[in-house]
Amino acid sequence: MTPRRRSFYGWGYEDDAASAQEIKSSERGWADLFGVEDFTPVPMPTPEEIDLRASRVKIPVALRACCTDAKYQRLLHSYGRSVHDLARMIHRRDFTNPPDVVAYPRSEEDILAVLDWCGDEGLAAIPYGGGSSVVGGVNPPRDGHRPGNVTLDLKHLNRVLEVDPLSQAARIQAGTLGPDLENQLRPTGLTMRFFLQAWEFSSLGGWIATRAAGHYATAYTQIDDYVQSLRVVTPAGVLASGRVPTSGAGPNSDRLFLGSEGALGVVTEAWVRLHRRPTERVATTVRFRDYGKAVNAVRVISQSGLFPANVRLIEREEVKFTEAGDGAHDLLVLSFESADHPLGPWMERALEICRDDGGEWDEETLAQSESHRSGAAGRWREKFLRGPYLREHAIARGVMRDTVESCVTWDRYMELRARVKEATLAAIREVTGREGLVTVRFTHVYPDGPAPYFTWHALGDKAKLIEQFWLIKAAASDAMTAAGGTITHHHALGRDHRRWYDQERPELFATVLRAAKRELDPRAVLNPGVLVDP
């Protein structure tokens, strides 16, 4: 049996692409949206047709066991999974900058050896988990003065090393992808339940380096809340923090690496907090006629101390486009989960809050423990999980579907939403000459504000897709940050968000990060162009 191979240009495994029916259904949506009938796709690229630059560096004998310069591996590690990454590949725009070598370390010693080699030769080292970055976090840098780039793929560091059932925590290697992590935990009855959209193709180390956010909409949102301690390999040596629930002893060292995006070190393992597998679940979908009131209900719930697992408010335009409903209402997907107690009183109170703001729901859904997998919520969920598989087909047809997401205080949210929608729609119109669509949902909510997630759709010109994408993305991001939102709640920075991050981050903190990088990575080997410049 041949091992399954990942698609080098799209999402997932080569043998698990979107079905013809799924593509057809998407095409119908785009046809309605853009008033266009014919979507002749460009054919998907094959490795054979691509004339890849030969590797510019020679792998030292001592590293041959863990390094390769094989074409497919270099191709696979050329890009992340942003719209413009996919457009570059699918529209054959640019295969000029693959990594020269892909390293597959099996130990921290391997990583240190690769980092040493890179330092000696002036090569860049790009840490790589699942490769799902949508912000240019794993793309080899394009600065001309380096003799070569090495991608450090942590896929072999994929084991759950230790479980502490009493404290509900596990020590897990950083290269472990979502499904593998859950499979190894299953016999213990514990789960991380960190179900982000890229779960199948993202790793624990990637979640940590990018401050990813997972399944829970409240209380345990970002990976920051899960990390008990870290091991990080840096060119200056290994840094390991002690395993305690929390401490008041000085600044938390783990927090320097949460969000460090591979620029300060390579996370190799972490103790993370787990949950018991939920045994109780109650879910429903609440309909609102007034979006402002729906937002208010969500705010009150977020400040209630009820801590729902899901409190995803989807505005009617998104409901309609995803066919989760007819678009007459904004929908709030509301659920509670517990491994400890029945959740009747929790849901009752949350629904009371919804009712105060005009929310309506079907009582019978409450009795169905699987109601999150059926009805409107179920239809929305299916679209969510299959979304990444369809993006490559959209791009092959000139359709851009991208997201910008943020976090903002409640007092600024309605204004931010209005400005992002207005600016993005205007940019789509100006850039593509056609109307587009911008919709928003909440992915996570905090007592002090929501994390709004905007999806925009535009039909571009296949020959100018990357340039068009950037004009629209920039307009959306400018509006979002000007309205007081952060440039990202959980998609991270990579290279794509640097210009907004550089404005958002206090300048003196950049000075501190540069100083930290000089200490930990004195030869500036790690992920150049990300986080901070030397």
Token pair 């007081």: residue: 484
Nearest residue (CB) to a second copy, 55 versus 335: 335
DSSP 343-408: -HHHHHHHHHHHHHTT-B--HHHHT-TTGGGSHHHHHHHHHHHHHHHHHHHHHHTTEEEEEEE---
Report d(CA 252, CA 241) in Å as an integer: 9
Count Cβ atoms below 10 Å from residue 181 Cβ, excluding itself. Answer: 24
In the complex, what is the shortest distance from the CB of residue 406 to a second copy, in angstroms, rounded to a whole number? 8
* Pairing status of strand 149-153 against strand 101-103: parallel
Minimum distance from CB of 213 to a second copy (Å)? Answer: 7
CB of 391 to a second copy, least distance (A): 21
> If you ran DSSP here, which 8-state letter would residue 338 be given?
E
By C-beta, is 425 or 451 nearer to a second copy?
451
Compute the least distance from the CB of residue 314 to a second copy, in Å.
Answer: 20
Question: Nearer Cβ to a second copy, position 147 or 292?
Answer: 292
CB of 344 to a second copy, least distance (A): 8
Helices (H) and strands (E) in the chain, counts: 16, 17
Maximal C-alpha separation, the chain: 70
Residue 18 or 301: the one with the smaller Cβ distance to a second copy is 301
Toward a second copy, which CB reaches closer, 139 or 488? Answer: 488
DSSP label at 188?
G
Looking up tokens 């991380």, which residue turns up? 192
Q: Which residues contact 287 (CB under 8 A, 6 or more apart)?
A: 325, 329, 330, 331, 332, 359, 360, 361
CB of 195 to a second copy, least distance (A): 17
Minimum gap (Å) between residue 446 Cβ and a second copy? 4
Nearest residue (CB) to a second copy, 196 versus 426: 196
Residue closer to a second copy (CB basis): 170 or 319:
170
Neighbour tally for 519: CB within 10 Å: 11
Q: Identify which of residues 369 and 511 has a Cβ nearer to a second copy in the complex.
A: 511
- Nearest Cα neighbor of 489 from 456, 453, 530, 529 is 453
Sheet of 124-128, strand order: 67-68, 101-103, 149-153, 124-128
Rounded Cα gap, residues 369 and 378, in angstroms = 12
Measured from the CB of residue 340, what is the shortest distance to a second copy in angstroms? Answer: 4
